[in-house]
Amino acid sequence: MAVASTSLVSQLSGPKSLSSYSGLRPSCCKLEFSHSLSATQSLFRHLHSLLRLSSSSRKASRGVVAMAGTGKFFVGGNWKCNGTKDSIRKLVADLNSAKLEADVDVVVAPPFLYLDQVKSSLTDCIELSGQNSWVGKGGAFTGEISVEQLKDIGATWVILGHSERRHVIGEDDQFIGKKAAYALSEGLGVIACIGEKLEEREAGKTFDVCFQQLKAFADAVPSWDKIVVAYEPVWAIGTGKVASPEQAQEVHVAVRDWLKQNVSAEVASKTRIIYGGSVNGGNSAELAKKEDIDGFLVGGASLKGPEFATIVNSVTAKKVAA
């Protein structure tokens, strides 16, 4: 089976190796069968992505938004540990004066200290998110922020599983899954982050890592109705490096297929899968053209009002001409 698949790649792409073709799993004739099977599965996911993109480009008509999922385009701005009262006042003013496309769900996540300031001055067209929340009801947990506090201050979303929480703070998959379950049970939407480190991508483990992180969410959450999945390759966050549109699309297809196989076809269709990792005003339009990229989670560029507006408005790149 693996030999036949390699032959198919050769027919489609010439002398490229499987690893350079997919960027996800290396090909090696000496691998055990199970690893060859994994490479084959990766290959077919990639070919499936190419076929879907080809099909969508043929069938697209004027004014149609080319999205594999059925959800509305979603753009989140993660301000991280940045800002002062003055700089945030200026950023909010820029956002309030920006002309944003109406068919986009826009969310910003200021530092907790400034949520109230932003809530009281930001346009109602943009929702608020926390950057983190505690795993249960508040109490004697020094330095933590409870879901109840986020709701009380006006937040409707929370970012959970971000790589900086995973790899700097040390939160594990199961803990993050429990946090998501509690936030959802209390009515907050969850931006559920997944993504691989550079060494994991180079070792061909991108799918393995992302699927393991997805499984921790799936094992814990009561429903997927208010979950947005954010694929953020760790090697692209804040580094200036960005996954190519093809690399991002390939993982997004795999994530949607995983949801279809392990949760349900309905969840796979409805769940928005957004991309994060050095997204900016210059690359967002090309990324947005990909069928399975349903929006973005933006870091540094979200601190610049006009550039963030450009990213929000990249939804127009999905509206393809006949």
CA atoms within 13 A on the CB side of 13: 15
Question: Is 48 an annotated catalytic residue?
Answer: no
- Say which of 164, 171, 196, 232 is annotated catalytic: 232
Task: List, in sequence order, every beta strand (DSSP E) within the chain.
Answer: 64-65, 73-78, 104-109, 126-130, 157-160, 189-194, 227-231, 272-276, 295-298, 319-320
Give the whole-angstrom CA distance, residue 102 versus residue 107. Answer: 13
Which of the 8 DSSP states describes residue 72? P
Which of the 8 DSSP states describes residue 291? T
Q: How far is CA 278 from the centre of its chain?
A: 12
Give the whole-angstrom CA distance, residue 39 versus residue 24. Answer: 9
Please state at what angle helix 245-262 crosses helix 33-59, rounded to 10 degrees.
110
CB 306 within 8 Å of CB 94: yes
Neighbours of 90 (CB within 10 A): 12
Question: Is 167 an annotated catalytic residue?
Answer: no
CB 109 within 8 Å of CB 79: yes
CB 194 within 8 Å of CB 161: yes
Residues with Cβ within 8 Å of residue 1, at least 6 apart in sequence: 36, 37, 40
Which of the 8 DSSP states describes residue 316? G
Encoded tokens for 155: 């937040």
- Say which of 46, 127, 162, 196 is annotated catalytic: 162
Which residues does the annotation mark as catalytic? Answer: 162, 232
